[in-house]
Amino acid sequence: MGDMGSFERTLPAEAVARVREGFRTRATVPRRFRTGQLKALRRLITENEKELAQALAEDLGKHPLESRISEFALLENEIGHALLHLPAWMEETAVKVPLVLQPAQARVVPQPLGVVLILAPWNYPVQLLLAPLIGALAAGNCAVLKPSELAPATAQLLCRLVPEYLDPQVVAIVDGGPETAAALLQERFDHIFFTGGEHTGREVLQAAARHLTPVTLELGGKCPAVVVDGHWGNIARRLAHGKFLNAGQTCTAPDYVLAVGRAAEQLRTHLPESVRELFGRRPVRSKDYGRIVNERHFDRLAGYLGQGTVLSGGGTERSSRYIEPTVLVDVDPDAPVMREEIFGPILPVLEVPSLEEAVAFINDRPAPLAAYLFSERPKNQRIFEDTVRAGAVGHNICNAHPLVPGLPFGGTGASGMGAYHGRHSFDTFSHRRPVLSKSALVETLKVGYPPYSWSKAEVLKRLL
């Protein structure tokens, strides 16, 4: 199946050519082959979980249990869901034929797209590389994978494991930095799946346009959390967990909080308490709290700490890339921390007079990947769902909707285009091809051929 050394020397063009030839053999089309590759991918995760967790700890300071919850379990559930439903997903769908074309049969047949490129980010470097691959394999495609160089331990491990478990004529993995990604984007693909920031997403879209390649963009944005009413202790705990998971480096994490009315006073009390409950009085000593991915991002985040009043946290340690879970208050709505995606463990809390003002605040900015409302009142939930523009909505919980395989995961506007997870992954990597069959032995279409006449027109009016 190949070793690490030979794989590292594979150039992007060679990897694409190899799997392109693999797709031409049509080996990926039979359901048995697809399920075999999905099961092999599951074995890759289950048989190497300890080693994968160690790599994630080295790159991001993740606790093994956090890696199990946010990376491995999600992948295993997605694979199980795909294996269970793949026969139904692959079925042809009959479509009713209009009277004017009868007798005939019409159907929709899911077809693999071909060779897809999956470009993954560094914040969940296992999950966000392999989750799109599940859909690509289930739909019968070949794939080229590019893990993020900013999570080097995980990338190198995956570059060794992928060719050991998956058919190298079907799945290729290419290690490297931005120059490798740029070289891959020069190649022709049948679909590109990118997860990352908005700036790079624009570059991917521009590169794809040269070949008219369809693209799925999973971006981010400033996900808001609006707090109106409820159990204040539980709300604060869920906000703190949702924000400070993976040291805040989660695309669906609440980026800021809009506290309506008395909620602001309650959060000033309960948010610091929840942080202490989760990570202790000195989070720097907590084995459950991660680290910033590199010094560049550390410096960027440290610059936000002076853009408001530190209610709790604020401590930093550059040598270990540690930034304490921090809650900011008295923040200027136009400050950089409120205009740029934070993607780190800093949570600004702003006071607003009403839910309507909160909705207006959100909708005045680019559409986020997710928006959260904390309120037990159905009326408030309906208003929020009907008026907020966002990729997803969560009521009284953060970051949980990606765990439901039946829900599409994706953004809108600046937060992305396209969706995946469950059936939506299969559809993203499939072409739903229409097929119409009609016998030529009996001619029933002459009424529609020239020369036209009054009698033909009357018949066609009734038939059409």
Looking from the CA of 399 toward its CB, the CA atoms found within 13 Å total 21
Query: Has residue 318 got a pLDDT over 50?
Result: yes
Q: Is the dihedral of CA 73, 75, 76, 80 positive or negative?
A: positive
In a domain, 439, yes or no: no
Query: Has residue 419 got a pLDDT over 90?
Result: yes
Average pLDDT on 212-224 reads: 96
Q: How far apart are CA 64 and CA 52, in angstroms?
A: 9
Q: Are residues 93 and 228 in the same domain?
A: no
Residues 6+ away with beta carbon under 8 Å from 451: none
Q: Are residues 90 and 183 in the same domain?
A: yes
Q: Are residues 254 and 276 in the same domain?
A: yes
In a domain, 450, yes or no: no
Query: Has residue 442 got a pLDDT over 90?
Result: no
| Average pLDDT across the chain, whole number | 95
In a domain, 452, yes or no: no
Amino acid at 198: E
17-57 pLDDT, tens per residue? 999 999 999 999 999 999 999 999 999 999 999 999 999 99
- Token code pair at residue 58: 């080295």
Q: Are residues 351 and 381 in the same domain?
A: yes
Q: How far apart are CA 157 and CA 160, in angstroms?
A: 5
Average pLDDT on 175-179 reads: 95
* CATH number of the domain bearing residue 237: 3.40.309.10
Q: What is the pLDDT of residue 1?
A: 35
Q: Are residues 163 and 28 in the same domain?
A: yes
Query: What SS3 class is residue 461?
Result: helix
Q: Are residues 208 and 65 in the same domain?
A: yes
Query: Has residue 4 got a pLDDT over 70?
Result: no
* CATH number of the domain bearing residue 90: 3.40.605.10
Active-site residue, selected from the candidate residues 71, 78, 218, 351: 218
pLDDT band at 9 (very low <50, low <70, confident <90, very high): low
Active-site residue, selected from the candidate residues 142, 159, 223, 251: 251
In a domain, 18, yes or no: yes
In a domain, 360, yes or no: yes
User: For the chain, how big is the Rg over CA atoms in Å?
Assistant: 25
Q: How many independent structural domains does the chain possess? A: 2
Q: How far apart are CA 463 and CA 445, in angstroms?
A: 11
Q: From residue 120, give the alpha-carbon distance in Å to each of 56, 144, 191, 202, 360.
A: 15, 11, 14, 15, 33
In a domain, 106, yes or no: yes
- Asked if 309 and 328 count as a contact pair (C-beta separation under 8 A), the reply is yes
Average pLDDT on 428-443 reads: 94
pLDDT band at 455 (very low <50, low <70, confident <90, very high): confident
251 given a catalytic annotation: yes
User: What is the model's pTM?
Assistant: 0.94
Q: Are residues 295 and 346 in the same domain?
A: yes
Q: Are residues 208 and 299 in the same domain?
A: no
Q: How far apart are CA 45 and CA 161, in angstroms?
A: 9
Q: What is the pLDDT of residue 445?
A: 79
Give percent of the chain with pLDDT exceeding 70: 98
Q: What is the pLDDT of residue 437?
A: 97
Q: Are residues 211 and 321 in the same domain?
A: no
Q: Are residues 165 and 121 in the same domain?
A: yes
Q: Are residues 65 and 204 in the same domain?
A: yes
In a domain, 181, yes or no: yes
Domain containing 60: what range?
4-219+416-432
Q: Are residues 67 and 209 in the same domain?
A: yes
In a domain, 114, yes or no: yes
